[in-house]
Every structure is written in C-alpha cells, then in structure tokens.
C-alpha cells in the first residue's frame, strides 16, 4: 500500500509530536490527556520526559536481556529444530514435543552465551506437546521462573524469546513483543495429541522455530511455552495469532516429566454436551470410572471442576487439558437444582501402549528415510540402525516401557528416598512398631507393624497378616480397603527405603489437598512414590521435608483405594503421626488418634501379643 507523498508531507510533523504525546501519557510521567491534539507541543519540549522514557526503556531492555539468557536454540538435525527455555540452574529446559521429537534421545542445544551443549531428553507429554530436556554438564545456568499464569490478563505486555526460522546462528534468541490477546483459549488436538487447552493467545509474532521457546510477562517471568499459531490460508508465517502452553499447566506436569515419564493427560470417564439451556450436562459415563463411583450420573449438570467454573464444553476441556491422569480433583455438579461436590480421580486419556505407539508413529512420520522394500523389511523401524548416543549422554539414558528416560526416574526416586530417610531417623528401628491410641469414637486401638507380621486390633475385631512375603491381597480390616497392607508398606518404606518395596518408581507430583486446585498460589504440589507388588499398588505422598503425609493403596485395579492420611503431632519427632485418618470410597473408616508409639527390639520374640 503506497502512501501518497502529499499525505506523508502533510502529516509527518504532527505524527512525531503526537506520538511523543502518546508515549508520555502511557508511561504516566505527566497527567496528559492522551486524546488530544492539545498536549504534544508541551510534552515534546519537556526535557525530563525523555529521561523517564529512557528509564522505562532501559528497564524493558534489562528484563528482556535477562529472559533472553534463559533461551535455548534446539537443533534436531536435518528435521529442523526450535526453541527451549531453561527452568533450572542445572539445565532442565522446557520445549515442545514436536520440536524434540525428530531429534530422539540426544540433541544439541545452543545457549545464549554462544556455547553449544549436549542435551538429553528427560520426559515427554505428547498430548500437551511438552517435552523436558536437560542440558548436560552445566550447573550454573540462568533460568526462568514459572509464573502463575492464571494472573495473566488480556492486554498484558508479553514477549517471546526463541529461534524463529532458525535464524539464531549466533545462538542469541530473537525477541518478539506484543500483548496477550486471549486467555483460557482452547485449540483442538491434531488427532488425539497436541491439544492446546487453557492456553494463552498472543499477538507477539510466533513463527516456525519459536516453538518451545518461552513467553514472558513484563517482569520477565515465564508465563508459557510458545508452540502453536493460527495460519490457515496465510501460509506458515505469523499473522498475529500465537498460542502458548500456560505455565500453570506446565507446573502440573513438571514432576512427571522430571521423573522421565511418558506422561498422559486426563479424562473424566464421561462425555458432556450442552443442553438447550446451554448447561453442560453428562451425556455418557463409564461405569468403571471413578466419577461414576463417586456418584456422577447421566444428565447431571457440571458446574465446576478443579476450582474452575464450567459454563461451556470448551471450559471443561480447558480444565481437563491442564491436568495429569491420576490426579484427584473437586467436581461440583447440580442435580434437581441441588449442587453437590465430589472429589474425582481422573483417568488416563490413552492406554500406555497407545501413547507409546503415538510417539513411535510420529517418529516415523517425521523421519523420512530412504524408501524401504516392504518385502525385505516388514518392520522398517526395528531395522533402522540407531546412531550411537554422544558420550556425554550415553549414561544418562535408559529406555523402559512407559518411560521416556527411566534414568531420570531413578534420580528422582533417589532424591525422594534421601529426603524420606532424613525425615524420620527414628524409623530406622528394625523391630516391631506398636501404635496405641483411641478412635474418634473413644474406643481404644492397637496396631503392630513388623517385618514379620502386621496386626490391627479394633473393637470390631482383630486383623493379622504375615508380612514376610509379598502382599498379594487385601488383608483388611474389612471395610478399610487395605489399611493393614498400607501401614506395613509405610513401615517398610521408612525402615528399608523405596528400593525394597517391590517395583518402585517416582510417580510425579500431586496437590497436597485437591480442594486447593484452581488457585495456583495456594496449591502445593507434593512428591509421590509409586510401589507395586503383585496386584497391590500403592502411592506415597511426601511433604517437602520428606515426611510421608498420605498413602493410597489399591488391593486390585479399578476399585476404590484405601486412603490413609497422616497428621503430624507437635510433640513428637517429625514424621511420627498424631492422627491417622482412613477413608475408603466415600466413607470414613476411622480416625486413629495416636497416643503412643513404642518400638520393640528386633528378634526378641513375637512382639506385642494378641489381646
């Protein structure tokens, strides 16, 4: 579009003065009415104004320079590459699944200081298009802090730091700035993966190559990871419509990713639709789902999930898309006008094998190799020689089904094990633990836990089990869902450590209290260990100090677990519970007020004794 010279001449003078006036009004240096054709002359003359403009600009430059240092240029060989953003000093960095996918396990990363380092793939979330990588051999890297992305508002300043069009040959990232155009956006998945739920929409230029790079707010905090843009008929260049995965979603999945997992997203186990009045109602529900067991039924109106109001089907997809499979979330539904709240455990969106297949399929799709003769090579993927991993990375990777990189799961398990060991030095006692106290009803109870056996003495009867072998069924007490097994595993974890529990892995993180969900500022995520032996499966939640705060034990798949929660006692050593609350399904099995814990020396004959 040409501008007629006449226009240009006539307007240039006013443009300059006017624009200065607007700039001044914007930084609030003077009470200038921004409309106005009146102010520019005076503001253009004021020498002090330029100083403030420069100061504001200086501040922005500093913020951007700081954020730019956290940017990574990721090289995925001939398949391309993209961007990443460092989130820890020891080199953990977030990026997109679709960026690292062609690279496989090992890749080269360019840092903004001009160095090129090896990096290893740690965790993948194919559904959310997220990957966690670790830059190898550096431990003092600049990194970005995840902000609370629910505080981001439309109109906020934001900027992206990344590697658009792979231009960063000097490894210094390109910066593009803009405003937040929309929040809580939903972008449909491509197939069953790459769903962008609850994402942040920006008009900062997001181009191919920006994928995986950080989106920052005016203070340089990481509010998201850029990964998608609307193009359609405009070709694959920015049209002012980019999308970033929100920091809050990233935070929810980060524990799982650090644990080297192949992470899955969540489903309610129910489908919903809008009825004639625009309400979101359950249109179908699996009877094997936790939602069904908690009481959700056909035609129930969903009002809120995980602390977020649900007024449209999109809103529900938005909430669910940010949550990992296995989390428990509050759900408010309305039936016959009466609202009810339940806590629902979310199921996995894919079967593990399905997820692995998706990753593998994408792998082939994105790695066009020489044409294969199907007669000779019925399974080309298996026959393709895998290039040897770089030396630095070789010892940092271990393949295992269900994991992206099992090596990192062992690291996380070890980290948690150390904390557990430090949290309860008293627990190194090898003899029997005898726990005495009173139930909420006032009746006395006695629990005996040792390496050989477990016993729970309740007014309703005594339950006893041999603890020397693997626990392969629910030993009771009846109605508890497996309390005795849970407590025996708890003792074994504290005495012998995670490695001796059976197949033990680092599970990820979950909210300490599901009811706090919806407010990232108060939602505390705690580490969870997973242990399985025979059919029994257990998850242990640990506080930041390593104290076990809860156990969930499933004596069989697809049933309600025994839910044990430990409350501390101010007068006792850390990790020694004051109250043990036991739930099964919707029922409170019992509240155990612990009055005394005694330790009997090992091998001193049968501890305790039937009463």
Partner 1 sequence: MNDGLRRGLASVVRFLVPAACVWCGLGWPAEAVTPGETIAAAARKVVKVYGAGGIRGLEAYQSGVLVAPDGQVVTVASTVLDADDIDCVLDDGRRFRATLRGIDPRRELAVLKLDGEDLPAFVLDESPPLDVGSRVFALSNLFGVAVGDERVSAQHGVIAALVPLAARRGAYEAPFRGDVYVLDCTTNNPGSPGGALIDRQGRLVGLLGKELRSSASGVWLNYAIPVAELARAHRDIMAGEAMAPPPADAAAAMIDPLVLGLVLVPDLLDKTPPFVESTLPDSAAARAGLLPDDLVVAVNGLAVSSRSAVRQALAVVAEGDPVRVTVIRGGAIVDCDLGARPAGVRR
**Contact set with partner 1 (CB under 8 A):** 1-4, 7, 11, 14-20, 22-28, 34-35, 37, 44-45, 50, 53-54, 56-57, 59-60, 153-157, 177-182, 184-185, 187, 201, 203, 218, 230, 232-234, 238-241, 278, 311-312, 314-315
Tell me the C-alpha distance between 149 and 132, whole Å: 19
Cβ at position 488, least distance to partner 1 in Å = 51
- Closer residue to partner 1 (CB): 234 or 415: 234
26 versus 610: smaller Cβ distance to partner 1: 26
Give 370-419 as a DSSP string.
S---TTT-SSHHHHSPPPPPPHHHHTT----TTBS-HHHHHHHHHHHHHH
- The residues facing 72 across adjacent strands are 84, 111
- Alpha carbon 148 to chain centroid, angstroms: 13
- Minimum Å distance from CB 69 to partner 1? 20
Looking at 241-336, which runs of residues are DSSP E strands?
Answer: 242-246, 266-267, 270-274, 280-285, 301-305, 308-309, 328-335
Q: Which is nearer to partner 1, 156 or 600 (CB)?
A: 156
Closest distance between partner 1 and the C-beta of residue 34, in Å?
5
Instruction: Look up 98 and say whether it is catalytic.
Output: yes
Q: What are phi and psi of 572, to 5 degrees?
A: -110, 160
Which residue lies nearer to partner 1 by CB, 184 or 491?
184
CB of 72 to partner 1, least distance (A): 25
How many beta carbons lie within 10 A of that of residue 479, not counting itself?
A: 14
Closest by alpha carbon to 38, among 48, 24, 52?
24
Q: What is the DSSP letter of 600?
A: P
Q: Which of 112, 118, 125, 129 is catalytic?
A: 129
Among 98, 184, 397, 406, the active-site one is: 98
Q: Between residues 334 and 436, which has the closer beta carbon with respect to partner 1? A: 334
Cα maximum dimension of the chain: 105
Kindly state the smallest distance separating residue 11's Cβ from partner 1, in Å.
5
Q: Which is nearer to partner 1, 155 or 442 (CB)?
A: 155
- For the record, the structure tokens of 380 come out as 């080309």
Q: Are 548 and 555 in contact (CB under 8 A)?
A: no
> In terms of CB distance, is 159 or 403 closer to partner 1?
159
Is 536 strand, coil or helix?
A: strand
DSSP 8-state code for residue 190: B
Closer of 50 and 597 to partner 1 (Cβ) = 50
Could you tell me where the DSSP H helices lie in 28-87? Answer: 40-45, 47-68
Helix axes 5-27, 47-68, angle to 10 degrees: 80
Neighbouring residues of 172: CB distance < 8 A, sequence distance ≥ 6: 68, 112, 114
Query: Which of 13/388 has CB closer to partner 1?
Result: 13
Q: Which is nearer to partner 1, 228 or 294 (CB)?
A: 228
- Minimum distance from residue 40 beta carbon to partner 1 (Å): 9
Number of helices followed by number of strands (H, E) in the chain:
12, 31
Euclidean distance between the first and the last CA atom of the chain, given in angstroms as a whole number: 94
Q: Which of 250, 101, 92, 286 is nearest to 190 (CA)?
A: 101
- The least CB distance from residue 45 to partner 1, in Å, is 7
As a residue count, the chain comes to: 611
Indicate which residue of 211, 423, 450, 505 is catalytic.
Answer: 211
Q: How far is the CB of 180 from partner 1 (least distance, A)?
A: 8
**What distances in angstroms separate CA 82 from CA 109, 110, 293, 480, 499, one per listed residue?**
10, 10, 44, 51, 38
- Determine phi and psi for 169, rounding to 5 degrees: -70, -25
Say how many C-beta atoms besides its own lie within 10 A of residue 441's C-beta.
Answer: 9
Spatial CA neighbour of 223 closest among 145, 316, 117: 145
The nearest distance, CB 351 to partner 1, in angstroms, is 31
Whether 406 is catalytic is: no
365 burial type by CB count under 10 A (0-12 exposed, 13-18 middle, 19+ buried)? exposed
Least distance in Å: CB of 147 to partner 1? 16
211 has catalytic annotation: yes
C-alpha of 334 from chain center: 29
Mind telling me the catalytic residues?
Answer: 98, 129, 211
């Amino acid at each position: 579009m040409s501008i007629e010279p006449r226009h240009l001449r006539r307007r240039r003078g006013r443009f300059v003065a006017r624009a200065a006036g607007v700039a001044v009004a914007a930084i609030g240096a003077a009470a200038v009415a921004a409309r106005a054709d009146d102010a520019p002359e005076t503001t253009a003359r004021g020498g002090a104004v330029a100083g403030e403009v420069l100061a504001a600009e200086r501040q922005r430059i500093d913020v951007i320079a700081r954020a730019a240092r956290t940017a990574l240029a990721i090289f995925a060989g001939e398949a391309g590459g993209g961007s990443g953003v460092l989130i820890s000093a020891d080199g953990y960095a977030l990026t997109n699944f679709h960026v690292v996918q062609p690279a496989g396990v090992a890749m080269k990363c360019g840092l903004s200081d001009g160095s090129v380092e090896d990096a290893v793939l740690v965790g993948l979330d194919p559904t959310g298009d997220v990957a966690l990588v670790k830059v190898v051999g550096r431990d003092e890297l600049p990194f970005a802090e995840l902000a609370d992305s629910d505080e981001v508002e439309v109109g906020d300043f934001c900027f992206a730091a990344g590697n658009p069009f792979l231009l960063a040959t000097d490894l210094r990232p390109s910066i593009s700035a803009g405003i937040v155009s929309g929040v809580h956006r939903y972008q449909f998945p491509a197939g069953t993966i790459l769903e962008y739920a609850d994402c942040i929409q920006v008009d900062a230029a997001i181009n191919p190559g920006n994928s995986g790079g950080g989106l920052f707010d005016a203070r340089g905090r990481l509010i998201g990871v850029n990964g998608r843009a609307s193009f359609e008929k405009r070709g694959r260049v920015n049209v002012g419509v980019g999308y970033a995965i929100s920091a809050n979603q990233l935070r929810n999945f980060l524990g799982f990713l650090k644990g080297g997992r192949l992470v899955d997203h969540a489903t309610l186990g129910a489908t919903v639709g809008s009825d004639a009045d625009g309400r979101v109602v359950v249109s179908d529900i699996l009877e094997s789902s936790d939602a069904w067991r908690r009481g959700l039924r056909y035609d129930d109106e969903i009002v809120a999930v995980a602390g977020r109001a649900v007024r449209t089907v999109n809103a529900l997809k938005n909430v669910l898309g940010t949550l990992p499979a296995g989390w428990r979330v509050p759900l408010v539904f309305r039936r016959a006008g009466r609202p009810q709240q339940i806590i629902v455990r979310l199921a996995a969106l894919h079967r593990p094998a399905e997820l692995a297949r998706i990753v593998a399929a994408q792998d082939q799709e994105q790695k066009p190799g020489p044409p294969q003769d199907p007669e000779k090579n019925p399974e080309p993927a298996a026959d393709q020689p895998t290039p040897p991993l770089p030396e630095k990375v070789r010892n940092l990777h271990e393949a295992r089904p269900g994991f992206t990189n099992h090596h990192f799961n062992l690291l996380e398990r070890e980290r948690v094990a150390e904390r557990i060991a430090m949290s309860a030095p008293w627990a190194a006692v090898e003899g029997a633990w005898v726990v005495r106290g009173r139930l909420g009803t006032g009746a006395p109870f006695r629990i005996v836990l040792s390496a050989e056996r477990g016993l729970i003495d309740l007014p309703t009867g005594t339950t006893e089990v041999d603890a020397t072998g693997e626990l392969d069924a629910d030993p009771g007490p009846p109605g508890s869902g497996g309390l005795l097994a849970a407590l025996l595993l708890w003792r074994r974890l504290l005495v012998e450590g995670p490695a001796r529990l059976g197949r033990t892995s680092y599970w990820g993180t979950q909210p300490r209290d599901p009811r706090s969900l919806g407010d990232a500022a108060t939602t505390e995520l705690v580490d969870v260990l997973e242990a399985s032996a025979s059919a029994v499966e257990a998850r242990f939640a640990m506080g930041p100090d390593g104290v076990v705060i809860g156990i969930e034990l499933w004596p069989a798949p697809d049933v309600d677990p025994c839910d044990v929660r430990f409350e501390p006692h101010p007068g006792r050593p850390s990790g020694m519970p004051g109250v043990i609350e036991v739930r099964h399904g919707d029922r409170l099995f019992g509240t155990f007020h612990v009055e005394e814990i005694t330790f009997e020396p090992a091998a001193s004959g049968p501890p305790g004794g039937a009463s």
